[in-house]
Amino acid sequence: MPAYKAPLRDTRFLLNEVLDFPGHYRSLASGAEASPDMVDAILSECAKFSEEVLSPLNQSGDQEGCHFEHGNVRTPKGYKEAYVSYAADGWQGLSHPVEFGGQGLPMSLGMLKSEMMATANWSFTMYPGLSMGAMNTLLQHGSDEQKHTYLTPLTEGRWTGTMCLTEPQCGTDLGQVKTRAEANSDGSYALTGTKIFISSGEHDLTENIIHIVLARLPDAPKGTRGISLFIVPKFMPGADGQLGPRNAVNCGSLEHKMGIHGNATCVMNFDGATGFLIGQPNKGLECMFTFMNTARIGTALQGLAHAEQSYQGALAYAKERRSMRALSGTQEPTQVADNLISHGDVRRMLLTQKAIAEGGRALIYLASQHADKMIEAMLSNDQAQYQHWDDQLGFITPILKGCLTELGLEAANLGMQVFGGHGYIQEHGMEQIVRDARISTLYEGTTGIQALDLLGRKVLVMSKGKAVWDFSKPMAKFAIELLKNEPKMRRRALSLLKIVAQWNYLTLRIALVARKDREMVSTACHDFLMYSGYATLAWVWAQQEAVAMRKLRDGGSETPEFYQAKIATSEFYFARLLPRAKGHAAAMLKSAKSTMQLHSDHFVFD
């Protein structure tokens, strides 16, 4: 298994040189403590914990898996000790309010923390990661009493949280939820039903687990309009902060799955379990979107994590392993053969991984700034700014979740390919990365669901196409500034302007056709999503290239090779990866007939 090394140079480059996080934090009320020295200290400590504690448990946790017996789950060896250190060091409450035991730092710092930990050990990081969504949901929608009861132990890491949506008969189509909630005389509810695929649903890391559960009241309307949201604790909270009796919620079994074996994915049975309503009756899905959006950005982070992890493993192997001679001539005459990195096709794979990982990191960091600004506006009761940044974050979320997970899986497969046959063998750990990465395109809404959300809901229905223009305006502004100030980047600037124009044109064309053929949205949405992903990656790569060129031109850099690598990787992205967008542009405009004309009865296999 590749030993994880936190890419701190790239992180600092993005924070301090490209996205101006110091200036961003100075503009936030919650950013007063996030000085450059404080941020750097947090990054260094997080890197140390990720490299020395979490990374060594990644492969062993996969091989051992979780143990299930009589409704109880035991996590792999070392996980519990790692979690104790994680909680004791205050990592869980890094970006949550001081009044509940947190450190009150900006939400984006929590994202930086999560990136390193997720790359080092995704299975472990899911346990506290699910708690983040539960905490955010309670912060935004919980009553004062619920916040007082649950947020402090969740923030301190003494309790963890889960998200309970999926049932045997329904995944994405939550209108089919059957779990029922019946009112008790004391104001609580009795929940009965079964939830499946519940990550971290049962484990031995914490004393209590708080389930956030979708269920239906007896008189609820049909479909998604009749779903309510409930808190269901594993152990009832006592008045004095001590744990009360065990609730009627139990793990029925563990799912036998392809990857992330170190995380317990559970079937959860609710047998009249006591729950407490969050928000208003029949408004549960609106509240749950807070959790779901947190989880979707977290899953996008998984795409980045596996791309980075696979790249690190493949790069080290490509420099060490020798095979044949380079076509351009012998590179290592004293060796029996040249190393793999001497070969053009291996470089293609490595550069693809590098472009995905470093471009994806820039997009995630950019989105985290949007989240900071949205939270700031919410706390200051600035509705106009809140709506603006909520729209920006809502637009980019399906792009991040859909495109970055698809590209992260591609990068994971490329890492395995660099190893050749050795990549297929468990001891090297590259096949584990592929297995772990595969789920990212499926859960929290498949790529197709993200694509429908982006094109159908966010672009066509909610904004009438305006969302693309609003999001792409900063891209156009940046490109115009490049034309004025960076003559050597004229081609990049023109490429970006062309992308902005085409992106808006494609949106208009699809909107016009969809008026007569609604199926056009369904058949075009995947290509629209991927096009959007390549477009936004082009933007952040041009930004990185511009900074690198300026640093080299101004001189005085202690690491010129770092900036040279940035420029070369950007050139590779624009030459080799961005052209994929042309294929998506052509495909999305094709008639839906080519996809829909074959009758369902004619899909046969005999």
d(CA 548, CA 570): 10
Please indicate whether residue 33 is annotated as part of the active site.
no
pLDDT at 15: 98
| Mean model confidence pLDDT for the chain | 95
pLDDT tens-digit map of 474-517: 999 999 999 999 999 999 999 999 999 999 999 999 999 999 99
Nearest to 503 by CA among 463, 541, 547, 533: 533
Helix, strand or coil for residue 160? strand
Tens of pLDDT along 428-441? 999 999 999 999 99
- Check whether 103 has a pLDDT greater than 90: yes
Tell me the mean pLDDT in the region 570-575.
98
Domain ranges of the chain: 55-89+121-282, 288-452, 458-590
> What is the reported pLDDT for 285?
85
Residue 212: predicted pLDDT: 96
405-422 pLDDT, tens per residue? Answer: 999 999 999 999 999 999
Query: What would the mean pLDDT of 311-319 be, rounded to a whole number?
Result: 98
Q: For 288-452, give the CATH class.
A: mainly alpha
Q: pLDDT band at residue 558, thresholds of 50, 70 and 90?
A: confident
Q: How many residues does the chain have?
A: 606
Distance set, CA 357 to CA 193, 309, 538, 549, 563 (Å): 40, 9, 13, 20, 16
Indicate which residue of 308, 431, 444, 545 is catalytic: 444
**Contact between 538 and 595 (Cβ < 8 Å):** no
Helix extents (H) in 211-343: 284-320
What tokens appear for 524 in the block? 């075009």
> Looking at residue 418, what is its pLDDT?
98
* Rounded average pLDDT over 356-367: 97
**pLDDT interval class at 225 (50, 70, 90):** very high
pLDDT band for position 159 (cuts 50, 70, 90): very high
How much of the chain is in helix, strand and coil states, percent to nearest 5?
A: 65, 10, 25
Q: Give residue 286's pLDDT band: very low, low, confident or very high (50, 70, 90).
A: confident
**What 8-state DSSP symbol labels residue 235?**
E
Give the tens place of pLDDT for each residue, 3-62: 999 999 999 999 999 999 999 999 999 899 999 999 999 999 999 999 999 999 999 999
**Taking the mean position of all CA atoms in its chain, how far away is CA 310?**
17
Task: Compute the distance between CA of residue 285 and CA of residue 224 in angstroms, rounded to an integer.
Answer: 7
Q: Is the predicted pLDDT of residue 378 greater than 90, yes or no?
A: no
Is residue 291 within 8 A of residue 133, CB to CB? The reply is yes
pLDDT of res. 556: 66
CA distances from 406 to 307, 363, 398, 409, 508 (A): 10, 15, 12, 5, 26
Whole-angstrom CA distances from 284 to 188, 199, 367, 534 are 16, 20, 25, 34
Q: What is the pTM of this model?
A: 0.97
Pick the CATH number of 55-89+121-282 from 3.40.1180.10, 2.40.110.20, 3.40.50.720, 3.40.50.970: 2.40.110.20
Specify the pLDDT at position 291: 61
Mean pLDDT computed over 308-331: 96
Distances (CA, A) of 445 to 9, 119, 171, 292: 33, 21, 8, 9
